[in-house]
Amino acid sequence: RAQATRLYSAGDPLTILASDSLKETLHNSSTAWLVEFYSSWCGHCIQYSPTWKALAGDVKDWDQGIKLGVLDCAFEKNFDICKEFGIHFYPTFRFFKAHSTTFDVGKTYGGADRELQTMRQLMVSFLQNHSREEWPSKCPQLEPSGSADVLAQLGQKAEEYTAIIIEEEDSYVGREVILDLMKYEGVTVKRALGSEKLLLEKLGIAALPSAYLLEPSGKHGLMNVEKRLRFFFSSYLKLLPGVRRKQALSARALGPARMSGSAVAVVWKDFDKSKVYMADLESGLHYLLRVELASHQTLEGEELKTFKDFVTVVAKLFPGRQSVVKLLETLLEWLVSLPLERIPYDAILDLVNNKMRISGMFLSDQLQWVGCQGSRPELRGYPCSLWTLFHALTVQAAQRPDALANTGLEEDPQAVLQTMRRYVHTFFGCQECGRHFEEMAKESLDQVKSLQEAVLWLWRKHNQVNNRLAGALSDDPHFPKTQWPTPNLCPACHEEKDGLHVWNEEKVFHFLMDYYGAANISPKYTL
Ligand code: FAD
C-alpha cells in the first residue's frame, strides 16, 4: 500500500484509488472524475506529481462537480485493473462523467500540454459537456445568462447576492468563479458574455472580464477588486457579509449561530479585520497561563525548560501594555532566580494572580475575544489567539533582533519558532494539533536561516493548516478558513502566473511586519 501511494499521500487533496475501489468510486458517481493513472517508477510521473497536487489544491472546492483521483499502475495489486482499463502509457489522464455506467473506461486526454491551467480548463469544459440528465446535482449551471435575464434582476430586492462575471467567450474565469463559490451560500454567481452589447452598456462595463454585484437590498454596481483575476473575484465574494461556507448537517445541529440573533446571543463586538486586537492577545495569555498550564500540577525537566523558554520569549517580545509586560518580566526573573528543578504550578499561579496589582502588574482574568470571537462559543477564541500571539512574536523578533540579548536565545533565528514548537508539543491542549504542527516543523523548520524566514515560515504553515481545515466542523462559517492575507487586505501580495495564483512573498513579508507590528494592535475592548 505504501508503494501504491508513493507519489501521493493521504494528506493530498485528492482521492487515492486502488483496484478494489476504482470501479465503485467512478461508476455511477454523483460527480465527474479526472483520474491520473500513473506509475510510481516513471520519472515523468514523479516530476509531474507536484503539478497534479497543485491542481488538486486549486480545485478542491469543485468536488461536488468534478473530483481528482490517482491510481498507481506499478502497484502489483493494480496490474489487472490497469490492464482492464487499457492503460498503456504513464501518466494517462482519463475523464469519467457523472453517473457513468459500469462499462465506462473513461475518455483519455491525449494532449501534450499538461500545464495546470490547461488541465483546469479541460475539467471545466468536460463538466459543461454533461447532458441535463447526467448533470451532477449539486453543481451549479455554467452556461452564460442572457442580457434580459440579468437586466430583469437589476434593482430587485433578493435574499442573497448575485454576482455576474462578464467575460469574453473563450474566457474561463466566470465558470471558475462559479465553481469556486459552489460550496458557499448567500451568493449566486452567474456569467454573461461580452457579446451582449446592451448589457455592457447598461452596466457601464468597459473592460473584460469584469464582475457586477447585485446586493440583496437592490443596490448594484461594479465589483471593486484590485485585479480582475479569478482569485480576486472569488475571494471578494467569499468575504461578503452573510456569505458563508455551507456546513455539513452535523455542524448545523450544533445550534444556531450567535451572529444570527439567536437566544444564546452574546454582545457582538464590531471590529476591523485589518487590525490585531490586544484583547485577543491578553485573553490568550490569560487562558494559557491560568487554564492550559494550570492543568499541570508541577513543572520539571523538559516541561520546565520549555516553560522557561516560552516565558523568556513572551517577556522579551510581547508587544503589549506595560502592566502585562511587567508581569511577564517579573515571572521570568522569578523563574531564572529559582534554582529549583521542580516547580509546583500553584506557585506560578500565585505570582500571576496575586502580586500583580501591587506594582502595576496586571493581566485581566476575563476572556474578551474580539478579532478572535466566534459565531458560536465553541468556535475560534483560544487557538485563534495563540496563532495571533505566535505571529506577533515572530514579527517582533524580526523588528527587534536585540530583544533576546543575554537570554541564550539571541543567536538562533529559529529560537522563537522552536520555543513555540515545544510549547505546542508539550502543553497545547489540542494534542492532534500538536502532532500535526510537529510534523510540519520536522519537515522544514531547520531550513529557516533568518528572522525574516521565520516570519514567513509561520505564515506558510498557518496557511497549510487553513487549507487542511477549510470546511471542517471547527471552521466558523462566518470566518471561513482561507488563504491569508486575502486580496482585500493585501492586493499586492497576490499575483497570477500561468493561470495559477501565486504569492509575492516579499510583499507578504512587509504586510505581516505591518499587520502584526505593535502600531497595528488596537487597545479597543481591553479590560
Ligand atoms: P485561525 O486559523 O486561528 O487564525 C487566527 C487569525 O490569524 C485569523 O483570523 C487571521 O486574522 C490570521 N491568519 C490566518 N491565516 C494566517 C496566516 N497564514 N498567517 C498569518 N496570520 C493568519 N485545528 C485543527 O482542527 N486541527 C489542527 O491540526 C490544528 N492545528 C493547530 C496548530 C496550532 C499551532 C494552532 C495554534 C492551532 C491549530 N488548530 C488546529 C486550530 C485552528 O488552526 C484554528 O486556530 C481554529 O480552528 C480557529 O480558527 P480561526 O478561524 O479563528 O482562525
* pLDDT tens track for 349-368: 988 886 556 678 889 988 89
Average the pLDDT over 313-326 and give the result.
96
Among candidate residues 162, 272, 138, 141, the one with its CA nearest the CA of residue 216? 162
Which residue of 384, 389, 445, 483 sits with most ligand 1 atoms within 8 Å of its CB, as the best mutation to test the pocket? 384
From residue 525, alpha-carbon distances to 189, 272, 320 in Å are 37, 12, 14
Ligand 1 centroid distance, CA of 149 (Å): 41
User: Residue 2: its pLDDT value, please?
Assistant: 39
CA–centroid distance, residue 202 to ligand 1 (Å): 43
Closest ligand 1 atom to Cα of 424? 34
* Mean pLDDT score, 86-104: 91
For residue 72, what pLDDT is reported? 93
Going by pLDDT thresholds of 50, 70 and 90, the confidence category of residue 261 is very low
The interface pTM score, or ipTM, of the predicted complex is: 0.99
Report the separation in Å between the CA atom of 351 and the middle of ligand 1, taken as the mean of its atom positions: 30
pLDDT per position as a tens digit, 462-497: 999 998 888 777 788 888 899 999 999 999 999 999
Residue range 433-469, pLDDT digits in tens: 888 999 999 999 999 999 999 999 999 999 999 988 8
Compute the 3-state secondary structure of the chain and give helix, strand, coil in percent, each to the nearest 5: 45, 15, 45
For ligand 1, whether the C-beta of 298 sits within 6 Å is no
Output the furthest CA–CA distance in the chain (Å, rounded).
Answer: 81
Measure the CA–CA gap between 276 and 370, rounded to whole angstroms: 9
- Burial of 464: CB neighbours in 10 Å, binned 0-12, 13-18, 19+: middle
Atom of ligand 1 at shortest range from CA of 391: 20
One DSSP character per residue, 19-67 reads TTTHHHHHTT-SSEEEEEEE-TT-HHHHHHHHHHHHHHHHTGGGTTTEE
Confidence of residue 330 (pLDDT cuts 50, 70, 90): very high
pLDDT at 248: 55
What is the atom index within ligand 1 of the atom nearest the CA of 463? 18
Is 413's pLDDT higher than 90? yes
pLDDT of residue 476: 86
**Mean local confidence (pLDDT), 414-435:** 93
> In the structure grid, which three cell numbers stand for residue 426, read together?
508539550
Q: Between residues 234 and 43, which one has the greater pLDDT?
A: 234
Q: 437 CB less than 6 Å from ligand 1?
A: yes
- To the nearest whole number, what is the mean pLDDT of the chain? 91
Per-residue pLDDT tens for 34-47? 999 998 888 888 88
pLDDT at 358: 64
Above pLDDT 90, what percent of the chain? Answer: 76
Residue 253 has pLDDT above 90, yes or no: no
Which DSSP category does 145 fall into?
B
The closest-lying atom of ligand 1 relative to the alpha carbon of residue 458 is 19
Q: Say whether pLDDT at 4 is over 50.
A: no
The model's pLDDT over 131-179, given as tens digits with 9 standing for 90+, comes to 999 999 999 999 999 999 999 999 999 999 999 999 999 999 999 999 9
Q: What percent of the chain has pLDDT over 70?
A: 94
pLDDT of residue 468: 86
270-308: per-residue pLDDT in tens?
999 999 999 999 999 999 999 889 888 899 999 999 999
| 3-state secondary structure at position 503 | strand
Q: What is the mean pLDDT of residues 401-405?
A: 95
Average pLDDT of span 503-507? 98
Task: Give, in order, the Cα–Cα distances in Å from 261 to each of 9, 267, 268, 312, 480.
Answer: 42, 10, 10, 43, 19
Atom 17 of ligand 1: nearest residue by CA position: 459
Looking at residues 490-505, what average pLDDT do you find? 93
**Ligand 1 pocket mutation pick from 393, 465, 467 by most atoms within 8 angstroms of CB:** 465
Contact 315, 335 (CB under 8 A): no
User: How far away, in angstroms, is 380 Cα from ligand 1 center?
Assistant: 8
Q: What pLDDT, on the 0 to 100 scale, is given for residue 429? A: 84
User: Given a cut of 50, is residue 265 above it in pLDDT?
Assistant: no
Q: Closest residue (by CA) to atom 40 of ligand 1?
A: 433
* Residues facing 213 on adjacent strands: 163, 221
pLDDT of residue 375: 86
Q: Given this model, what pLDDT does residue 433 score?
A: 87
Q: Which of the residues are catalytic? A: 42, 45
Instruction: Please state at what angle helix 382-399 crosses helix 301-317, rounded to 10 degrees.
Output: 60
Residue type at 36 in one-letter notation: E
**CA–CA gap between residue 37 and residue 345 (Å, rounded):** 57
Nearest atom in ligand 1 to the alpha carbon of residue 390 is 36
Query: Count of alpha carbons within 13 Å of 390, Cβ hemisphere only?
Result: 27
Mean pLDDT for 381-394 is: 97
Q: Residue 83, class by beta-carbon neighbours within 10 Å (0-12 exposed, 13-18 middle, 19+ buried)?
A: exposed
d(CA 214, CA 222): 9
Q: Is the CB of 161 under 6 A from ligand 1?
A: no
CA distance linking residue 270 with residue 268, whole number of Å: 6
From the CA of 466, how far away is ligand 1's center (Å)?
6
Q: Tell me if 463 CB under 6 Å of ligand 1.
A: yes
Cβ-based burial of 488 (10 A; exposed 0-12, middle 13-18, buried ≥19): middle
The residue nearest atom 24 of ligand 1, judged by CA position, is 433
Residue having the nearest C-alpha atom to atom 21 of ligand 1: 459
- Going by DSSP bridges, is the β-strand pair 15-17/66-72 parallel, antiparallel, or unpaired? parallel
User: Is there an atom of ligand 1 within 6 Å of 484 CB?
Assistant: yes
Question: Is 0.90 topped by the overall pTM?
Answer: no
What is the pLDDT confidence band of residue 512, given thresholds at 50, 70 and 90?
A: very high
